[in-house]
């Protein structure tokens, strides 16, 4: 198998995970996408690893905190850059 095959299969499984009507199907497709991502990470291809839900949550919280700090600054008469 070549890298293009793994990339295509990973993307297909991610798409199916997002569009599947049942929760169990979404879980299976996400697991398959993760399996392909792991194969890609073992290769020399510069692959972006999949983020976990926890990592996405932390990033979202950080963005919200920065936005709140920016809003607070603007409410105190400051200007944003």
Q: What is the pLDDT of residue 41?
A: 82
Cα–Cα distance between 73 and 80 in angstroms, integer?
Answer: 8
Cα–Cα distance between 62 and 81 in angstroms, integer?
Answer: 19
pTM for the complete prediction? 0.56
Model confidence over 41-76: pLDDT tens digits? 887 766 666 666 656 666 677 777 777 777 765 556
């Amino acid at each position: 198998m070549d890298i293009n095959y793994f990339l295509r299969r990973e993307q297909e499984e991610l798409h199916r995970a997002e569009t599947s009507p049942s929760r169990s199907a979404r879980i299976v497709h996400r697991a398959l996408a993760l399996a392909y991502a792991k194969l890609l990470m073992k290769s020399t291809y510069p692959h972006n690893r999949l983020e976990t839900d926890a990592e996405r949550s932390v990033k979202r919280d950080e963005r919200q905190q920065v936005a709140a700090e920016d809003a607070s600054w603007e409410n105190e008469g400051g200007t944003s850059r």
